[in-house]
């Protein structure tokens, strides 16, 4: 097992209520089997969401996970999962290991991971995330994404000032595009419950698809009060990193829909959460952990596997803000869609020269 740190600068930093990202300082996790197959995935450290750092991910993979996992086979994924679960936290490190193992399994069997998981469709509609800026710049960014990539679903980051800024952005987008686009908002816990309730009332005429994590789930009663009065699905994202969290938040009335992120629950954990959500009758959105192309290919491979995960546009475009990436064949968004690979495994290949250039351990 290898954990390789790499850094790729963003062309345009992404800013949101809980943080901002200027450089993708991720960790590439590779697993090698005895018969020479290499499985690959990436872990994005998000200290503002999960408390993980690049150094911490490398350390937990090399010092704790590797001794527990080396020697097991690719078919013992539940054993691997149980051993890794003894370590608290570290969601993206665990997820990257899980997905690298699935990648190796798919390559060993000569089958795409999407087909192994469920094989529902060959494509996902793409939603683009609009980070903080002034209203005119955010409208211009959305127009560029529509013109260049055919994207017509936008997630608008809110959670600054509701009146006079956040609401103005959403209204400017609706005025500019009319009914041609789908819009939803993500507060990253930046508003209070009362601010959220007022903002949602003021945006009542804007036809929002969803509202996501507008206020903190830790504001237990405030959040329940808010979710009970708004009439669009309320997505829990960073408040539901595990299946148990999904159960707790949904049954307590603190959310009515969920975001699944393969970056934090891998394929094995995401599949469990998907089945749970299906049983509970929840809407699912495939979310983005500000993934690069490796992480986006993982989210796409999972989202395309099931009906409920491919129904809405998935957040699969953040890699467009990065100056470069590691894939030999870059992902291409066309007419608003990303098509999943038909190759074995997750379906991408790392360009060795690019990895040499961006890795930070040599
Ligand atoms: Mg979110």
Residue 8 lies in a domain: yes
Assess whether 94 carries a catalytic annotation: no
Q: Are residues 241 and 290 in the same domain?
A: yes
Nearest to 106, CA basis, from 41, 29, 28, 27: 41
On the question of pLDDT at 13 being above 90, the answer is no
SS3 242: coil
Ligand 1 center from residue 351 Cα (angstroms): 30
Q: Are residues 121 and 64 in the same domain?
A: no
Residue 152 lies in a domain: yes
Catalytic residue among 98, 107, 157, 325: 157
Beta strands 182-186 and 337-339 are unpaired
Catalytic residue among 94, 107, 155, 261: 261
Residue 344 lies in a domain: no
Question: Within the chain, what is the greatest distance between any pair of CA atoms?
Answer: 60
Catalytic residue among 141, 213, 237, 321: 237
Nearest to 98, CA basis, from 81, 79, 115: 81
Catalytic residue among 141, 182, 186, 291: 186
Q: Are residues 301 and 224 in the same domain?
A: yes
| Tokens describing residue 355 | 């990895």
Q: Are residues 128 and 186 in the same domain?
A: yes
Ligand 1 center from residue 110 Cα (angstroms): 34
Q: In this structure, what CATH number is given to the domain that contains residue 260?
A: 3.20.20.120
Q: Are residues 254 and 163 in the same domain?
A: yes
DSSP states of 72-97 as a string?
Answer: --TT-HHHHHHHHTTS-S-HHHHHHH
Task: Report the interhelical angle of 91-109 vs 262-280 (nearest 10°).
Answer: 80
Ligand 1 center from residue 343 Cα (angstroms): 30
Ligand 1 center from residue 88 Cα (angstroms): 22
pTM of the model: 0.96
Ligand 1 center from residue 329 Cα (angstroms): 28
Nearest to 11, CA basis, from 141, 159, 127: 141
Q: Are residues 178 and 260 in the same domain?
A: yes
Ligand 1 center from residue 1 Cα (angstroms): 30
Q: Which tens digit of pLDDT belongs to each residue from 258-291?
A: 999 999 999 999 999 999 999 999 999 999 999 9
CA 343 to chain CA mean position, Å: 22
Beta strands 38-43 and 257-260 are unpaired
Residue 324 lies in a domain: yes
| Tokens describing residue 92 | 């993206």
Assess whether 219 carries a catalytic annotation: no
Rounded Cα gap, residues 191 and 206, in angstroms: 19
Q: Tell the burial category of 22 from Cβ atoms under 10 Å away from its Cβ (0-12, 13-18, 19+).
A: exposed
Q: Which tens digit of pLDDT belongs to each residue from 214-272?
A: 999 999 999 999 999 999 999 999 999 999 999 999 999 999 999 999 999 999 999 99
Catalytic residue among 289, 291, 293, 315: 289
Are 181 and 138 within 8 A, CB to CB? no
Q: In this structure, what CATH number is given to the domain that contains residue 42?
A: 3.30.390.10
Q: Are residues 125 and 90 in the same domain?
A: no
Residue 42 lies in a domain: yes
Q: Are residues 76 and 151 in the same domain?
A: no
Which pLDDT score is estimated for 353? 98
Ligand 1 center from residue 174 Cα (angstroms): 21
Residue 326 lies in a domain: yes
Which pLDDT score is estimated for 343? 97
Q: Which tens digit of pLDDT belongs to each residue from 316-343?
A: 999 999 999 999 999 999 999 999 999 9
Near ion ligand 1, which residues have CB within 5 Å? Answer: 186, 237
Residue 273 lies in a domain: yes
Ligand 1 center from residue 265 Cα (angstroms): 15
Are 201 and 229 within 8 A, CB to CB? no
> 88: domain range?
2-110+353-358
Q: Which tens digit of pLDDT belongs to each residue from 142-168?
A: 999 999 999 999 999 999 998 889 999
Q: Are residues 215 and 67 in the same domain?
A: no
Rounded Cα gap, residues 177 and 142, in angstroms: 9
Task: Report the interhelical angle of 167-177 vs 135-149 (nearest 10°).
Answer: 40
Assess whether 237 carries a catalytic annotation: yes
Q: Are residues 21 and 124 in the same domain?
A: no
Rounded Cα gap, residues 95 and 199, in angstroms: 35
Ligand 1 center from residue 239 Cα (angstroms): 9
- 319 C-beta neighbours (distance < 10 Å), count: 23
Ligand 1 center from residue 186 Cα (angstroms): 6
On the question of pLDDT at 359 being above 90, the answer is yes
Q: Are residues 192 and 231 in the same domain?
A: yes
Share the mean pLDDT of the chain.
Answer: 96
Q: Tell the burial category of 181 from Cβ atoms under 10 Å away from its Cβ (0-12, 13-18, 19+).
A: buried
In this structure, the chain runs to a length of 362
Ligand 1 center from residue 212 Cα (angstroms): 6
Q: To which H or E segment does residue 3 belong?
A: strand 2-16
Assess whether 157 carries a catalytic annotation: yes
Mean pLDDT value across residues 65-80: 97
- 202 C-beta neighbours (distance < 10 Å), count: 15
Which pLDDT score is estimated for 171? 97
| Tokens describing residue 114 | 């999407």
Domains in the chain, number = 2
Q: Which tens digit of pLDDT belongs to each residue from 42-52?
A: 999 999 889 99
Catalytic residue among 212, 213, 315, 321: 212
| Tokens describing residue 329 | 């064949």
Q: Are residues 252 and 139 in the same domain?
A: yes
Residue 97 lies in a domain: yes
């Amino acid at each position: 097992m290898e954990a390789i740190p790499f850094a790729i600068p963003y062309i345009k930093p992404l800013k949101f209520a809980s943080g901002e990202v200027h450089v993708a300082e991720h960790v590439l996790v590779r697993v090698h089997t005895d018969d020479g197959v290499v499985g690959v995935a990436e872990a994005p450290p998000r200290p503002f969401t999960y408390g993980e750092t690049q150094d911490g991910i490398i350390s937990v993979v090399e010092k704790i996970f590797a001794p527990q996992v080396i020697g097991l086979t690719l078919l013992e994924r539940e054993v691997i999962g149980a051993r890794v679960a003894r370590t608290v936290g570290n969601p993206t490190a665990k997820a990257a290991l899980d997905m690298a193992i699935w990648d190796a399994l798919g390559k060993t069997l000569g089958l795409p991971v999407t087909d192994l998981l469920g094989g529902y469709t060959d494509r996902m509609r793409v939603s683009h995330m609009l980070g903080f800026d002034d209203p005119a710049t955010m409208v211009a960014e959305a127009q560029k994404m529509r013109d260049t990539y055919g994207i017509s679903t936008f997630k608008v980051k809110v959670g600054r000032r509701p009146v006079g800024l956040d609401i103005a952005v959403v209204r400017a987008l609706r005025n500019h595009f009319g009914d041609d686009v789908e819009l939803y908002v993500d507060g990253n816990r930046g508003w209070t419950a009362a601010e959220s309730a007022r903002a949602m009332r003021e945006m009542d005429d804007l036809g929002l698809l969803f509202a996501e994590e507008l206020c903190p789930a830790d504001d237990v009663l405030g959040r329940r009060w808010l979710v009970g009065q708004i009439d669009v699905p309320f997505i829990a994202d960073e408040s539901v990193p595990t299946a148990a969290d999904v159960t707790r938040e949904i049954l307590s009335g603190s959310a009515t829909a969920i975001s699944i992120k393969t970056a934090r629950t891998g394929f094995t954990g995401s599949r469990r959460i998907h089945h749970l959500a299906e049983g509970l009758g929840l809407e699912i959105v495939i979310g983005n952990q500000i993934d690069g192309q490796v992480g986006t290919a993982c989210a796409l491979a999972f989202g395309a596997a099931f009906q409920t995960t491919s129904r809405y546009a998935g957040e699969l475009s953040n890699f467009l803000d990065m100056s470069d990436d590691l894939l030999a064949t870059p992902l291409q968004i066309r007419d608003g869609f990303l098509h999943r690979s038909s190759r074995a495994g997750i379906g991408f290949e790392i360009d060795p020269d690019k990895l040499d250039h961006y890795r930070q351990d040599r």
